[in-house]
Structure 1
Amino acid sequence: MSVNTPKNRTLLSDILAFYQAAGVDEALTEEPQNRLQQQPEAAQRTADASAEKEPVKASPATSVAAPAAPRAAIPDESQAIRARELARQAQNLEELKALLADFDGCNLKYTAKNLVFADGNPEADLMLVGEAPGRDEDLQGLPFVGRSGQLLDRMLAAIGRDRTTAYISNVIPWRPPGNRDPSPLETEICRPFIERHIELKRPKVLVTLGNPSTKLLLNTQTGIMRMRGTWAIHRTASGLEIPTMPTLHPAYLLRNPAHKKLAWRDFLEVKKKLSE
């Protein structure tokens, strides 16, 4: 098929647009591969696999055990319990980040490029929590650095804040494949870490960005459009009560710019609370 025709260029453009909308944003290999030419190799691998089934007695002097490849844990309730036990062990943010980096109970870790822990000033009195990293965040290992992050920076600037006077994190520290929504079990496994994160951070004011983080951290099923603009309380395991402002996620505001005025009102309330 010749690419240099208007019809074929349009067809290829439509295919690429579909892949992008489906979350296919990275190639598996640097060079395209002709799968038809790999058939002999596949046949050889099948023959090799059959040969490996035959028992082979290795000499004790020459037998060497191959290192086992890391295997993803089965995400179940036991992993959520394990996450709660580990999160409680952290005595500061550095320890929490190290525990999270070593934690293998969430399979999202094996499809993400980087752990996205936090950004900003750990000593700031303002903490903002979103849901999960996207592609740009996964590549850089920092939360809110893509288009929605740029908008969040402008929202902070509107109340005289930036990343030197605010602290930003997410409920989920690893990017879900294709930017899909985290499953309820994945969220529950990650919950103890963000709750301990907030408890160790002890912000004066907490802002939940969007529906998922609001529902999780405020333990509610009420939607963000009804919750936003009204102060609530996030209670930590130790009994600390933190004033919390639910507001709209920057990614939502990029799709619905008319609602930026609502987020502006919410941030004015945050500014007022911080000045008290």
Structure 2
Amino acid sequence: MTQPLDRYEFESILRFYAESGADEALLDDAPDRFAEAAAALKQRIRPAPAASSAAQSPSPVAQARPQPIRANAGSASLPDETQVLKAREGAASAPTLDALKALLADFDGCNLRTTAKNLVFADGIPGADLMLIGEAPGRDEDLEGLPFVGRSGRLLDRILAAIGIDRQSAYIANVIPWRPPGNRTPTPQETEICRPFIERQIELANPKLIVTLGGPASKVIAGASDGIIRLRGNWQVHRTASGLEIPVMPTLHPAYLLRNPAHKKLAWRDFLAIKARLRAL
């Protein structure tokens, strides 16, 4: 006889599903899999129905199983060069950050929009001297519609406070404004579709200094090819479409620091350099 799960095992399973992105129930009532199995066995034993009858009457198992939710035609597009061009044209046409946010809310050229709960555009104050950019929202950010509000966001807040900067006196965004399902890594195509929007966001926010959090954001914003451990602590440059050059400091992502606390000392050195650079502006 199967032993019931203890509390630890049960919490481990729930944690696994949540971290995999399965954080919502699809049905109000749990399906009875034993009844489904019995129905399936009975269906196999019965003589096969005529083709016309089978086409009209699905099996009890098929009726019991939840059907996948299909988006309306045209509501989701697979990433391709057409969508990249559409993103570039749309981003370039936005005269303000509010207009850019509204444009992103209506943009249907990226498939990530259909699986995310909220658009995660930005937090803080536009026009701040300091802009921080991560790669993509996580679960907490997707729920609240704001970047860096989970555990990594709380660590980022403490780091900023340590150099005398309040979160609301900076401007925070992500390269990708929608959470990838299950927190998976965005594909290169998804990143290219979103690139024009973050580049336009930088241009409109007009920061004096950018901090890229993690390797993926550093590669997009600074055009770097090295890994983040080699790249961090070394000033880079982001060039806007109008030709403006903005200093960029790549550093370790707060989520990485939570997994590797021994490397917090490296990030601290980076933020001390950021503090000194801001004072010199």
Q: TM-score, normalised by structure 2?
A: 0.83
The answer to whether the Cα contact below 8 Å between 2:210 and 2:248 also exists between their aligned partners in 1 is: yes
Number of residue pairs aligned between Structure 1 and Structure 2 = 255
User: Per-residue displacement from partner, 1:148-205 (whole Å, max 9, x unpaired)?
Assistant: 0000000110111112210100000000000000001000100000000001111010
For residues 5 and 86 of structure 2, the distance between their equivalents in structure 1, rounded to whole angstroms, comes to 58
Q: Judging changes above 3 Å, is the alpha-carbon distance between structure 1 residues 171 and 47 closer, same or farther for their aligned structure 2 residues?
A: farther
Q: Select 1:24's aligned residue among 18, 22, 45.
A: 22
The structural deviation recorded for 1:34 is 2.2
**Judging changes above 3 Å, is the alpha-carbon distance between structure 1 residues 48 and 227 closer, same or farther for their aligned structure 2 residues?**
farther
Q: Which residue of 1 aligns with 2:150?
A: 146
CA distance in 1, matches of 2:118, 2:5: 41
Provide the identity percentage.
64
- Change in Cα spacing, 1:264 to 1:5, as seen in structure 2 (3 Å) is closer
Residue 237 of structure 1: how far off its partner (Å): 1.0
Q: Which amino acid aligns with 1:178?
A: G
CA deviations 1:253-274 (Å, max 9, x no partner) are: 0000011111111111111111
Unaligned runs of 5+ in 1: 53-67
| 1:169 corresponds to | 173
Amino acid at match of 2:214: G
Alpha-carbon deviations, 1:55-89, whole Å to 9, x = none?
xxxxxxxxxxxxx6663123211101110000000
What letter matches 2:23 in structure 1?
D
TM superposition shift of 1:12: 4.3
Which ranges in structure 2 are unaligned for 5 or more consecutive residues? 44-50, 58-71
Contact 1:113 1:138 in 2 (8 A): yes
Query: What residue is the counterpart of 2:141 in the other structure?
Result: 137
Aligned pair in 2 of structure 1 residues 5, 139: CA closer, same or farther (>3 Å)?
Answer: closer
Could you tell me how far apart the structure 2 residues matched to 1:228 and 1:30 are?
48
| 81, 95, 115: which one aligns with 1:77 | 81
Q: Please give the secondary structure, in 2, of the residue aligned with 1:87.
A: helix
Change (3 A) 1:261 1:87: same
Residues 10 and 228 (structure 1 numbering): CA distance in 2 closer, same or farther, change over 3 Å?
closer
CA distance in 1, matches of 2:165, 2:8: 45
Q: Residue 253 of structure 1 corresponds to which residue in structure 2?
A: 257
* Partners of 2:124 and 2:171 within 8 A in 1: yes
Q: 1:102 aligns with which of 103, 106, 109?
A: 106
Q: Distance in 2 between matches of 1:274 and 1:48?
A: 74
Which ranges of 4 or more aligned residues in structure 1 deviate by more than 6 Å?
Answer: 46-49
Root-mean-square deviation over aligned CA pairs? 2.5
